[in-house]
Structure 1
Amino acid sequence: MSRSMLSAIVSIAVCWLHGLVAGAELTLTRDGQPAAAIILDERPVRAAQFAAFELQWHVKAISGATLPILRGNASAPEVHVKLYVGDGPRAQAIGLTQGAFQLQEYAIRSGANEIVLVGKDAGDLAEVKYDLDALGDGQKNFNWPGFWEERGTLHAVHDFLRDGCGVRWFNPTDTGTVIPRHPTLTVNPRDLRRAPTFRYRQAFDGNAESYDRYVSIWGRREEGFKPWESAAYSDSRGRQGDNWLVRRLQSTLFLLRQKNGGEKCVANHSLYHYYELFWRPSKNEAAAKYFVGKRPELFAQGYEGDQPPQMCYTSRALVEQVTQEARDYFDKGGYPYKVVLSNAPLGYKWGDKFFCIEPMDNASFCKCPECQKLIVQGKDYGVGEHFSTGIHSDYMFNFVNEVSREVKKSHPDKNIVTLAYGTHAWVPKAVRLDPYVAVQFCFACDGAPWLRSEYVHELGLVKAWAEEAKTSKRPLYAWCYYGHMYRAFADNGNFHCFPGFFAHAIADEMKLYKRLGYRGTFHCGLPPEVDTYVTFRLMDNADLNVDKVLDEYFTGMYGAAAAPMKKLYLGIEKVYCDPKLRPTDKRVAATGVEAAWGYLGTAERMVEFGKLMDEARARAATERDKLNVELFDLGIWKYMRTGRAKYQERVSAPIPSVTAPSVPDAGGDATQVEWEKAAPLGDKWFDRGGSTPASRQFTGRIAHDGKWLYLEMVDPCDTAKLVVSPGVSCFDDWEFFFSGQRSLPNRQFLVGPTGMVVALLNGEVNWRMYVPLEEHGIEVVSDTSAPDKWVSRIAIPLKEVVPGGAKAGDTVFLNIIRVSSPGVSGQYPFSITTWVSHTTVHEVDRSASIMLEK
């Protein structure tokens, strides 16, 4: 046979047959020749056709024998075992009819010289094309089943291949599949009838060719991802070329084999496209034609800036508009926009049975009197240090209720879905949420089991929603952040995180979701390496023993090197998950670069981890095992070594020190300052998180007059492209971080192009972040009149610069950040430039010292 795909067909002496019920042995191939036939219905559906091809391909990979695929009444030789795949006369004769199956249910039944593999399938009869030796040819591979359709027969075949034949799919790479080699394939099939534990299993639903980057800890960092990718797909590239379609189908195969998909119930921030429909035309010419007309009554009131940050969720006009959109969505096959608006692509984005209502991703809600009545009602609900509170639960769920009641009048068989997220994460207190509404609870720190107070708090909310659902009977789902949050902090700070391995916590969470009746999980990010495989397996069967799943993974991937590789994984997991190893000083960010490499990935631990990598390299026996160890090296270990090296560079990098001269009293009027006497801040600015000089350079000056601190910032930019955000952030703005020490607490002052100011206290009030300082006294003169220069002059009362104030002779600490919009910077989604090297927003441990001259 061809080496097709090279799914790493390897010689492994023993099949994984644990957990199988003893029964009559059936021989499918004998000495490399077929001893069985695959039988389909006369007109099989797509899922059955694809399942038959999958079964045929894997059996050939195992034994070298090609089992014939027959349809309808075509006869198989009497000596052959009959493998009935999908709905047909044989399945129906033993009671396995389509009508008898529940959603996503499937069965395996064996008897004398036969095995029936069948499940609930979508009725699509389109002809499937399947040729894994020509994945780059779209004419030879199409009409494959989708993630969101019933494909129970395919599940049955994949279970049979895994549990009956010893096949394992660990990842989509050339060496990520284990297929035992047996010229004679004898199986001892177990009968079963089941459905996956969770009916909604959305681990991934983007362009499948980007799956590896989505999972990789390197993410957007090409310098690390590209070498891993080249090594991981060197064989298939050599045979099938560097073709995006090959990569797409390789990953699609893996995701289908792992049962990704099921019942589609997506939820996310759902109203961003209203800006393009009802605020202003899109800048995209094709999308601009969908602009209906400006309707300010739909949007949040009381904000400056280019556009309001939210909608007005007590607006009757908004209720009517969203209701009509939901009805059209259900009646007309989803969204109608042939050009993707902000978040409304053509078709059933949320699922054919669900329509999502979820506000924008911020808490800058409407200031109109009607909205404020409901907002004030919840102001003390769940307030504290936690991310997930109930401050806006009554407010937001009241709006969802208003739409839900209207939609169910016309579509009682459909559902609204929304998130329990951020400031509306708690079960509402004064509003009874309509049972027609499905809820996805956003477990924000599920990937951070070390953060005990927050983790336990959110576990309580997971249970609270389940308790509420006992009465309401609403569908519940979990929104998971596996692999997302710790990588997001690192990416935003442009540093390398300590890998967040947490397989045992994943197992505990999945078991809890099952016990509480959650119907599925959506994953906003996936963890790297092992944890993604664990996640897939437990979404399918939450009762699995995670330690056995880990043994299965390491044995299958690394062979003789399994022991040191597993020990390395468990060592990293233990360090990541242990709260005792995190900074106890709240002034040190628990998710920052210092925590990652000053507390977790210490020099001593890195030495021990390195010894295990050396041992694994020495033990790896086969070329496949050696390559998989190399892939872990490129994918994880190199990332860790680079992170540690960057941290050491950061520790030794110089920090600016400036004396702010005393100038004549300007009375807080920045236009009256004798700026020629002010101290320059220098002309070196850096890309966030490192020492790379920024592509855009700025100038600044600083001075004080004993009562006020003055700053002048000059940005040589195209001022016509400046974006004015209603909350100042996230762009375009200057952000000044002042503190009395190089740690929390600090004060964050944000200044926008119109002179708008926001002042925030970070860590000053019960260690809470982003607490507004309303009476800050800051005065700003912003000048954007020149086409090529934005000049900001800021006057800050010295009594407000740091907690307790400052005076002449004191030293305060400062970092300055410029957050630039894509139009200004040419970088998407924005750029962050820092005055102090190796820093980013909220990192104050390297702040410059500012001595206030007497």
Structure 2
Amino acid sequence: MRVIFFLFFSTLVFGTLAGTPLTLVRDGKPDAAIVLAGRPTRAAQLGALELQHVLKQITGTEIPIVRNASEAKGIPLFVGESPETVKRGLKTANYTGEEYEVKCFPDAVVLIGNDSPDYGDVNYKIWQTFPSIDQNLHTTLYAVYDFLEDLCDVRFYLPGDSGTAFTPRRTLTVEGKDFKRKPSMEGMRYQNFIGQWNPGYPFPFRDVRLLALRWKSVNLFGMSNHNTMALWYRYWAPAVKNPALAKMFIEKRPEYFAQGYRGRYGAGLKMSWAYHEDPDLPPQVCATNPDVIKLLAKMVVNAYRGIENPGATYPKLHRLDGVLFSYPMLFEDNGSLCRCPRCREFSKGGLYFNFIYNLATEVAKEEPNACIGAGAYACPYSDEYRFPENMTLQLMYGIHAWYLPCIYNRHMELYNAYRKKAGSRPVTLWTYMLSPKWEATRIYKYEKFFPGFYPEAIIPIFRKFNADGIRGWFAETYLEINFLECYLAMNLCSNSKDNSEKRLEEFFPRYFGAAAVPMREYYREVEHAFWNPANYPKEVRERYSGILNLGTHTDRVNWGLGTPERLAKLDKLFKETQAKADSETVKKRLELFGKTIHFQMMEGRSLYEKRESIRRSPVSKMAVPMIPDAGGDPEKLDFTRGEKMPFNTLFGKTDPMPVSAAIAHDRKYLYFTYSEKNAPAEKMPDDPWSNSVELFFGRTPEMPFHHFVVTPGGKATLYLHSIINGISTFGKTASNARLSSRKNGNDWSFSLAIPFAEIVPDGKLKAADALYMNIMRTRTGGPSLSWSPIFDTSYLNTLYRMGRVHLSGTEPCKPEIKGDFVGRNRIPEREWRMLGAHKKYAKETLAPDGLTIDGAGKLAYYLSETLFEAGSGNRLIIEAEASGKGTALAGFLGYCRLPGEPLKEISFQRVVLGTLGPETKTLRAVLPLLDSSGKRITHGKIFIGTDQDSVMKVRKVGIALDIPEKAAE
């Protein structure tokens, strides 16, 4: 099998002057007409409407659009093929791929390209009637836009009329210049503008789509995307929430899907548009099932042959004549891969590329020229991967973080390795060109942020992509923040020889007019702060965080860039810019800039300082006591031994409703009990998000974390909040927690037993561990309550206010205390020492056969400095090999060290170890550990010693901790 790939490169022919310059509008009156064929393509229709609209913006004059050249008065501007262009030797058949041409004659202008035969009517107000960006050639539009840019001096920066820059004039004369071009990256050039469908987005979608077309956006080949979901509709279950999809169901075939996820509610896969909550919904297909390969191969073949694939991500994807065909294929967007024996033989990347190889091989049996659009999405590189010949490869990187050398260098290693392995196969890119807005709004929820600009940095990056032969580019970006970076990148993707530095510098006077100088300095200040690794903490500079690198900008990292001094400078520049605004259009542009960038930034700094003040207010902390095994039964537990938990309002104020709560653990379950009396009536008693107790647990005060919701109706539900491939997700997950709930009028109480494996997402919690926790009583009858005050009403925005918890006690163990004294030359004080009060009179003497402790007739305590984890649920066993006279003593010093707090001694316990004699014998004492003065033991040290009138020679001391069946009294 042989696949022929076409390597296109940008050709730029600055042509002949076609006689004298051409005047299109003279003194506010049209001296030209736009001419379409009788049956024009959509691309030609939209091109004519765009030409008419933009020329009217420039001159205030509307140039008419006609369908017959005989109706044209003045210079005819032919848009697309028509009988008149054919007479002049210009027709669509002359062009291949994305070629297009601008041809100026002494008496006419022709704007023409290669358009797909799509002749539907275009309504300039309705974006759905515009030419498609996907699998559609519309290069007559490119000719129109280059005519406007190169001959009419227009620039398209942002959506809408205010995003278009030009010089107004009543007379418009253009230079008669010819050129024929083809974009450098011909596979794809387009972006997903994040949030464009959301309410409050600053631009109408119709204008956003027009901007994409003005930027020559297209998706022809080389795209990779999540595209297996059609199998769920056919072979998992009927899509009951979507009648059209429900009709696709054929039969239940669970073996087609990822094994090992029963009860996991999709384990990261969301299909709420199709299914009600399904605890057994599989997160992926089984990537090694031969039937799955055949079914997906059939979809690829269908698309290649022009047959639609209902339920696919790209249901109407099809082959274009003369254009490479590739069918996008990634696993679904989660990391929960199949756990069947066959799939588990592979690494993550190995499983995916084995899947791609088998799929491409199956497709080639029927259509050898149909390629699979594979993607290296979070896949570690390996030389062992097998690449089929009929494959395109899309590489995926967060280039917005290439200011960090550790990120850039690692990405370059992967980039170069994958390109080398790809060989002659087309390589494209999926880049993340984001700003801190992503972390601020999607991950850490601090919402308002210091922005990230990088137009200077983006130029050499895309020049490298062109030099390396990259065939296409897609980006995820915030248009309202990083439009300038995307504008520069798109022009380099269209023309690899574009003078980007000139294009960057001309932006400021074209877009901001007389305010250009302070706004240029504003951009420079932000970029030099954002793109400078020295401005980031060392742990950020040295941390490799994957291909996406989404998560760098915690609010502290972000506002470490947005210092008060820097913001004062930027605010001064912006005010200067406002003062110099010399037109209503510039004022409107500055209003947009202020809303999306500057004013939210200034407010964000104030909010950050408020959070920092709140952070200085201590969070709640506790040690959770360990109790004897309660078997996971919350009904039988005696919570009098639990730690009492106070509840106040979210802002730390007292509330009149009587609440009592306590918490404990037995190494297998965490037990929590809650009770309230005479509660005010709820306004939304049946809404779990308005009337419940919510428990949050995490290893850190950020995602991932577990979230239990307990309702008065007697239901406990577990949710998982996590970051999957840079996107925060929230979904129900399976739980074996046991709940006992009682509701009596306005009184409600419950007890909950949570398995240790369910407390935090990684499931690896044990006694003596620390974690973050907060518990809220959410209600509408009165102010909501919490254990640790959050000083806000948003739970997810205040994870940093989660309390700190230490699970006291430990599993049975034998802590090492360096208690062998035989044959030692010295004993450092950091290991053992005589207590200070006893050191004045007591002596310790080290000899080859052991250590002698002599209190000179008084008490003498010899302390081990080894600190070990312990709790009141433990029992301490002390054994010593000793001889001497009198009575040997031993004991325990109990300490409390809550997370982030210094160590505090809180208890002292002593026990008789035994009676000493001339012969060495083993002495043993058992000491149930007890808390003291309302404080919980988390750690301890032991001591040995002698009673009055006693002397002891000790050879060896050892300790062990176990757990009694009953708690000590």
TM-score (norm 2): 0.65
Kindly indicate whether residue 224 of structure 2 is the aligned counterpart of residue 267 of structure 1: yes
**What per-residue deviation string (whole Å, max 9, x for no partner) do you get for residues 726-783 of structure 1?**
xxxxxx99663347xx89xx99789899999999999xxxxxxxxxxxxxxxx97434
The alpha-carbon distance between structure 1 residues 88 and 606, as it changes in their structure 2 partners (threshold 3 A), is same
Secondary structure at the counterpart of residue 103 of structure 2: strand
- In structure 2, distance between residues paired with 1:279 and 1:715: 43
Per the alignment, residue 619 of structure 1 pairs with 580
Per the alignment, residue 241 of structure 1 pairs with none
Please point out which of 571, 575, 582 is paired with 2:536.
582
Per the alignment, residue 803 of structure 2 pairs with 848
- In structure 2, distance between residues paired with 1:482 and 1:121: 30
> Cα offset for 1:29?
2.4
Per the alignment, residue 393 of structure 1 pairs with 349
- In structure 2, distance between residues paired with 1:737 and 1:584: 25
Per the alignment, residue 413 of structure 1 pairs with 369
Kindly indicate whether residue 143 of structure 2 is the aligned counterpart of residue 160 of structure 1: no
Secondary structure at the counterpart of residue 74 of structure 1: helix
**What per-residue deviation string (whole Å, max 9, x for no partner) do you get for residues 497-524 of structure 1?**
3312222333233222222222212223
Are the equivalent residues in 1 in contact too, given 2:303–2:318 (CA < 8 A)? no
> Cα offset for 1:640?
0.9
Per the alignment, residue 114 of structure 1 pairs with 108
> Cα offset for 1:421?
0.6
The residue type paired with residue 511 of structure 1 is: R
Kindly indicate whether residue 179 of structure 2 is the aligned counterpart of residue 169 of structure 1: no
Are the equivalent residues in 1 in contact too, given 2:625–2:643 (CA < 8 A)? no
Secondary structure at the counterpart of residue 772 of structure 2: strand
Please point out which of 244, 252, 262 is paired with 2:209.
252
**What per-residue deviation string (whole Å, max 9, x for no partner) do you get for residues 277-324 of structure 1?**
322333405133333232121122233422333222111222222223
- Which structure would you say has the larger RCO, counting Cα contacts within 8 Å and 6 or more residues apart? 1
Per the alignment, residue 190 of structure 1 pairs with 177
**What per-residue deviation string (whole Å, max 9, x for no partner) do you get for residues 542-592 of structure 1?**
433333223232222211111111211221122111111112146997321
The alpha-carbon distance between structure 1 residues 645 and 275, as it changes in their structure 2 partners (threshold 3 A), is farther
Please point out which of 377, 401, 404 is paired with 2:360.
404
The alpha-carbon distance between structure 1 residues 446 and 713, as it changes in their structure 2 partners (threshold 3 A), is farther
Q: Which has the higher strand share?
A: 2
The alpha-carbon distance between structure 1 residues 673 and 624, as it changes in their structure 2 partners (threshold 3 A), is same
The alpha-carbon distance between structure 1 residues 681 and 408, as it changes in their structure 2 partners (threshold 3 A), is farther
Deviates more, 1:780-789 or 1:304-313: 780-789
Per the alignment, residue 753 of structure 2 pairs with 793
- In structure 2, distance between residues paired with 1:700 and 1:833: 10
The residue type paired with residue 554 of structure 2 is: G
The alpha-carbon distance between structure 1 residues 475 and 212, as it changes in their structure 2 partners (threshold 3 A), is closer
Per the alignment, residue 464 of structure 1 pairs with 417
- In structure 2, distance between residues paired with 1:126 and 1:661: 70
Per the alignment, residue 28 of structure 1 pairs with 24
Per the alignment, residue 712 of structure 1 pairs with 672
Per the alignment, residue 258 of structure 2 pairs with 300
Deviates more, 1:277-286 or 1:660-669: 660-669
Per the alignment, residue 384 of structure 1 pairs with none
Kindly indicate whether residue 16 of structure 2 is the aligned counterpart of residue 52 of structure 1: no
The residue type paired with residue 214 of structure 2 is: R
**What per-residue deviation string (whole Å, max 9, x for no partner) do you get for residues 627-651 of structure 1?**
2222211111122123212211211
Kindly indicate whether residue 462 of structure 2 is the aligned counterpart of residue 510 of structure 1: yes
The alpha-carbon distance between structure 1 residues 413 and 708, as it changes in their structure 2 partners (threshold 3 A), is closer
Per the alignment, residue 402 of structure 2 pairs with 449
- In structure 1, distance between residues paired with 2:464 and 2:427: 13
Per the alignment, residue 425 of structure 2 pairs with 474
Deviates more, 1:712-721 or 1:109-118: 712-721
Per the alignment, residue 592 of structure 1 pairs with 554
Secondary structure at the counterpart of residue 334 of structure 2: coil
> Cα offset for 1:611?
0.9
Count of residues in correspondence between the two structures: 720
Q: Which runs of 5+ in 1 are unaligned?
A: 1-18, 206-210, 233-246, 338-342, 376-391, 723-731, 763-778, 826-831
Per the alignment, residue 874 of structure 2 pairs with none
Per the alignment, residue 431 of structure 1 pairs with 385
> Cα offset for 1:31?
1.9
Q: Over aligned residues, Cα RMSD in angstroms?
A: 4.8
> Cα offset for 1:103?
0.8
Are the equivalent residues in 2 in contact too, given 1:815–1:836 (CA < 8 A)? no
Secondary structure at the counterpart of residue 317 of structure 2: coil
**What per-residue deviation string (whole Å, max 9, x for no partner) do you get for residues 797-835 of structure 1?**
9xx99999986xxx95623489x9xxxx9xxxxxx9998
> Cα offset for 1:679?
3.1
Secondary structure at the counterpart of residue 793 of structure 1: strand
- In structure 1, distance between residues paired with 2:721 and 2:171: 71
Per the alignment, residue 641 of structure 1 pairs with 602
The alpha-carbon distance between structure 1 residues 441 and 53, as it changes in their structure 2 partners (threshold 3 A), is same
The alpha-carbon distance between structure 1 residues 606 and 357, as it changes in their structure 2 partners (threshold 3 A), is same
Please point out which of 630, 638, 644 is paired with 1:674.
638
- In structure 1, distance between residues paired with 2:195 and 2:653: 24
- In structure 1, distance between residues paired with 2:511 and 2:698: 47
Secondary structure at the counterpart of residue 442 of structure 1: strand
Per the alignment, residue 660 of structure 1 pairs with 623
- In structure 2, distance between residues paired with 1:273 and 1:699: 51
The residue type paired with residue 255 of structure 2 is: E
Secondary structure at the counterpart of residue 419 of structure 1: strand
Matches within 5 A, 1:62-81: 62-71=58-67, 74=70, 80-81=74-75
The residue type paired with residue 280 of structure 1 is: A
Kindly indicate whether residue 75 of structure 2 is the aligned counterpart of residue 123 of structure 1: no
The residue type paired with residue 517 of structure 1 is: G
Per the alignment, residue 284 of structure 1 pairs with 241
> Cα offset for 1:417?
1.3
Larger-Rg structure: 2
Deviates more, 1:313-322 or 1:266-275: 266-275
**What per-residue deviation string (whole Å, max 9, x for no partner) do you get for residues 134-182 of structure 1?**
x3xx6xx984322232222221111111111122222124422224222
Identity, in percent, stands at 26
Are the equivalent residues in 2 in contact too, given 1:354–1:417 (CA < 8 A)? yes
The residue type paired with residue 361 of structure 2 is: R
**What per-residue deviation string (whole Å, max 9, x for no partner) do you get for residues 77-130 of structure 1?**
6xx434333224554456544333121111122233333221111223344454
> Cα offset for 1:397?
0.9
Are the equivalent residues in 1 in contact too, given 2:69–2:84 (CA < 8 A)? no
Secondary structure at the counterpart of residue 369 of structure 1: coil
The alpha-carbon distance between structure 1 residues 607 and 325, as it changes in their structure 2 partners (threshold 3 A), is same
Per the alignment, residue 146 of structure 1 pairs with 132
The alpha-carbon distance between structure 1 residues 425 and 531, as it changes in their structure 2 partners (threshold 3 A), is same
Are the equivalent residues in 1 in contact too, given 2:226–2:313 (CA < 8 A)? no
The residue type paired with residue 162 of structure 1 is: E
The alpha-carbon distance between structure 1 residues 327 and 566, as it changes in their structure 2 partners (threshold 3 A), is same
Per the alignment, residue 309 of structure 2 pairs with 335
The alpha-carbon distance between structure 1 residues 752 and 362, as it changes in their structure 2 partners (threshold 3 A), is farther
Are the equivalent residues in 1 in contact too, given 2:673–2:749 (CA < 8 A)? no
Please point out which of 313, 316, 320 is paired with 1:347.
316
Per the alignment, residue 345 of structure 2 pairs with 373
- In structure 1, distance between residues paired with 2:804 and 2:313: 48
**What per-residue deviation string (whole Å, max 9, x for no partner) do you get for residues 820-853 of structure 1?**
9xxxx9xxxxxx9998567988998655244471
The alpha-carbon distance between structure 1 residues 187 and 699, as it changes in their structure 2 partners (threshold 3 A), is farther
Deviates more, 1:258-267 or 1:106-115: 258-267
The residue type paired with residue 672 of structure 2 is: E
Are the equivalent residues in 1 in contact too, given 2:439–2:554 (CA < 8 A)? no
- In structure 2, distance between residues paired with 1:715 and 1:525: 48
Kindly indicate whether residue 448 of structure 2 is the aligned counterpart of residue 493 of structure 1: no
